[in-house]
Amino acid sequence: MRIIRGKFGRRRFNVPTNISARPTTDFARENIFNVIDNLIDLEGCDALDLFAGTGAISFEFLSRECRTVTAVEKAATQFRFIKEVAQQLNVNNLRLVRGDVFKYISTCDQTFDIIFADPPYDLPNFADVPKAILESSMLKEGTLVIVEHSKAYDFSSLPHFMEHRAYGSVNFSIFQINSI
């Protein structure tokens, strides 16, 4: 895993072979962060990484000076890996939550400036993820929501949809909350 840019840019970490996550490719991650950088200034933002996997998105947020990053991951192996990398980077503004994302969404009372969700493509209720986020109390005016998905999904009919981006086989639906 490589952190692309920012204060931890170019740092590499060996991902354990027993991780079941499908990390966002470097190519797709670099491109979506270029889009994000053109939409909002991440410095000082509060970010949420749902289905954190290897933590690549969380560490990209941290590297780009987000004030706080909350990473939610259910799998023990991925959770431990994120925790180890955070210790190696000596970051103290990462809040790591081990648990079910849907439960987290329904109980979270914090708002975020940016929410990134990269559910497993084979998640049985995958299509419910964007709707759950968009109907949650985690949003405020200006919140940017990005959902990574396969080409099998089209979320353009959901409220606050802004645009769709595709980088190879990786697709992103981007939402921005204008008013709640």
Q: Is residue 21 part of a domain?
A: no
Residue with tokens 């970051």: 91
Q: What is the pLDDT of residues 115-150, one digit of tens each?
A: 999 999 889 999 999 999 999 999 999 999 999 999
Whether 149 is covered by a domain: the verdict is yes
- The per-residue pLDDT for 81 is 95
**Beta-strand runs (E) in the chain:** 46-50, 68-73, 94-98, 114-117, 144-149, 161-167, 170-176
Q: Output the DSSP codes for 3-51.
A: --SSTTTT-B-PPPTT----PPPHHHHHHHHHHHHHH---TT-EEEEES
Give residue 174's pLDDT: 98
If one counts every other C-beta atom within 10 angstroms of the C-beta of residue 25, the result is 14
Domain CATH number, residue 95: 3.40.50.150
Asked whether residue 13 is assigned to any structural domain, the reply reads no
- E strand segments, 52-167: 68-73, 94-98, 114-117, 144-149, 161-167
Q: Has residue 4 been placed in a domain? A: no
Q: What is the CA radius of gyration of the chain?
A: 15
Is residue 18 situated within a structural domain?
A: no
> How confident is the prediction for the chain on average, in pLDDT?
94
Give a yes or no: residue 9 inside a domain. no
Distance in angstroms between the alpha carbons of the first and the last residue of the chain = 36
- Does 179 score more than 70 pLDDT? no
Q: Is residue 132 part of a domain?
A: yes
pLDDT tens track for 163-177: 999 999 999 999 999
The structure tokens 């955070």 sit at: 86
Give the number of domains in the chain.
1
Note the pLDDT of residue 158.
97
CA distance 72 to 92: 16
pTM score over 0.85? yes
Instruction: Please state the length of the chain.
Output: 180
Q: Which two tokens stand for residue 128?
A: 């419910």
Domain assignment of residue 30, given as a range: 26-176
Task: Determine the distance from the C-alpha atom of residue 38 to the mean position of all C-alpha atoms in its chain, rounded to a whole number.
Answer: 17
> Where do the H-state alpha helices sit in 66-167?
76-89, 101-107, 128-134
Q: Which residue shows structure tokens 């080409």? A: 151
Residue type, 118: D
Would 3 be classed as within a structural domain? Answer: no
pLDDT in tens, 74-105: 999 999 999 999 999 999 999 999 999 999 99
